[in-house]
Chain A
Amino acid sequence: MSSIELGGAPTPGEVGPALIVENLVVRYGATVAVDGLSMTAETSQVTALLGPNGAGKTTTVEVVCGLRPATSGRVRLLGAEPGSRQVAERIGVMLQQGGLYPTARPLEWLTYLARLYPSHADPSALLALVGIDPSTRTTTRRLSGGEQQRVKLAAALLPNPEFLILDEPTAGLDPLARRNLLEAIGARRDSGTSILLTTHQLSDVETLADRVIVIAGGRIVADGTVSELTGADDAMSFGSRPGLDLTDLAAALPASYRVREVRAGSYVVHGPPTPQIMAAITAWCAQKGLMATDLAVGQRTLEQIVIDAGLEQP
């Protein structure tokens, strides 16, 4: 059965998160890779899993994909056990490393995979959608890194998945290919597919993610929307020379706003972000002959949050 669908919306009546992880622990010998992690990924949302290298992201994803057993804890994906055929028929996976037969051509690879699923998109149409010529006779090992990524995405989208797992999907892509791929992922989400995304491209997260979970040392250290985590609803931040006298700046802002140096050279203005306040900050810097760097809405950028998580990681 072949069809092109834009997504895999949940069955009517199906409620609750698409993914539930409770007290997940994964040990490799004496090393604890995941240490009591609990999280959910809501239906029809993009949930981004962030963290420094070694935080436990890939291990968590491998457990969710059914590739690795949990030492303890409970994982339910689409209401069933990860790794079961019931789940495998309803998910799409794009692995960070590998995942292609080097001597296969893109269309024959997808055509073979299509025979494993009860329903699927049309392989040719899907390859065209991700920008790969379906008639190419080039084997996947001779494709560029970006083209290989797109074939892998097409393979993940092939079963019209209800849950899509994407591990570093934009790694190695040029800006145009990256934008197209993000649009394709966004379209899937908008049509009902639940997505778990891990990436080091934080701009991808800002573009796509409905919810961000930051892990470090196998534990969750932050969980919320991008606005909640960065404090974007009630603050702006900028960088400049350390130790500035902020009295003039405070005087230039409405009385309800407060400004402080949170760490050397990093300043936060507390209060609702508006274009007028942003302009006032840059005007004050210009008046003082200072360059305002990293001017952003929110108290902290996602990058700062991930860096801080890495510094705190045991």
Chain B
Amino acid sequence: MSTSTGVRASARVRAHARWELRLLLRNGEQILLMFVIPIALLVALVVMRRSEIDTQVPIVMTVSLIATCFTSLAIGTGFERRSGALTFLATTPLSRVDLLLGKAIATAALASLSIAVLALVAAMMGWRPNAQWPVLVLFIVVGGGAFAALAVLLAGVLRAEAVLALANAIFVLLIVFGGVVFAAADMPSAIGQVVSLLPSAALADALQSALNGGAFPLGPLLVLVAWGTAAAMLARRTFTWD
């Protein structure tokens, strides 16, 4: 029988975050996307470009954050919608806010874990960062949040198969042409200006500054806040749970 006092919201959110983490960490594709690909990319960039590791670590951290907060989240949410799992959860005491907070915590935990693993691997390769830690944390939160909002926007309106295809395609396009592996500043001026307005370029630029002692990246901050806010507002209007 039910009791007069229900489960506290914090306990429901914690339960859902643990549930998401449990399923994500068991998924081989997610592990590949969040850990194996970024580490392989770090090694490849350092070897191929014969450049300082300091400039390559922010690039790979950007790749990892986009993979975790956008690609992985969008695909996972898309398939949860298709399976009817989200519809069922909507009939339980887990509220939509609980569910989103649980997802946010799980995603943040995974993003932190992937950044930490990357930092460890980079340190083993000789990386000695000149980092502004508060700025780094700020951009991990703001950048991760912006990409998570984009993921929910995509996953909330399209079929799961379309989300799978599109999330992977967008991931590759942003990494290669979106100012991550090839910085917007190194592109022809007109193209570079457009690319710098992409959230991927903004995040890569901001992490370069934060990890290499540069000036506070105000421009990238505004770009990420604008993308995140717009995506969140659109997702709020368009997201369907079934």
Residue B191 interfacial (CB < 8 Å): no
Question: How far, in Å, is B148 (CB) from chain A's closest CB?
Answer: 20
> In chain B, what residue has the closest Cβ to A5?
B1
When chains A and B are docked, how far (Å) is the Cα of A185 from the Cα of B27?
36
**Chain A interfacial residues counted at CB < 8 A:** 36
> In chain B, what residue has the closest Cβ to A11?
B1
Q: A85-B95, A108-B22 are in contact. Are A119 and B88 (CB under 8 A)?
A: no
> B88 — which chain A residues lie within 8 A by C-beta?
93, 95, 98-100, 155
> In chain A, what residue has the closest Cβ to B23?
A103
Say which residue of A90, A99, A112, A165 sits within 8 Å of B2 (CB atoms).
A90
Residue A160 interfacial (CB < 8 Å): yes
Whether A116 lies near B93 (C-beta < 8 A) is yes
Question: How far, in Å, is A55 (CB) from chain B's closest CB?
Answer: 20
Whether A101 lies near B91 (C-beta < 8 A) is no
When chains A and B are docked, how far (Å) is the Cα of A99 from the Cα of B81?
9
> A102 — which chain B residues lie within 8 A by C-beta?
79, 83
Q: A66-B90, A155-B88 are in contact. Are A115 and B83 (CB under 8 A)?
A: no
Residue B51 interfacial (CB < 8 Å): no
Whether A88 lies near B7 (C-beta < 8 A) is no
When chains A and B are docked, how far (Å) is the Cα of A103 from the Cα of B5?
32
Residue B40 interfacial (CB < 8 Å): no
* 9 A-B pairs in the complex with CB atoms less than 8 angstroms apart: A1-B3, A65-B91, A93-B91, A98-B83, A98-B84, A116-B93, A119-B2, A162-B2, A165-B91
Binding site for B on A (CB under 8 A): 1, 5, 8-9, 65-67, 85-86, 88-91, 93, 95, 97-104, 108, 112-113, 115-119, 155, 159-160, 162, 165
Given A97-B84, A99-B87, A116-B15: 4 more A-B contacts, CB < 8 Å? A98-B82, A100-B83, A116-B92, A119-B2
7 tightest CB-CB pairs across the interface, nearest first?
Answer: A98-B84, A99-B88, A115-B15, A93-B91, A88-B93, A112-B19, A118-B3
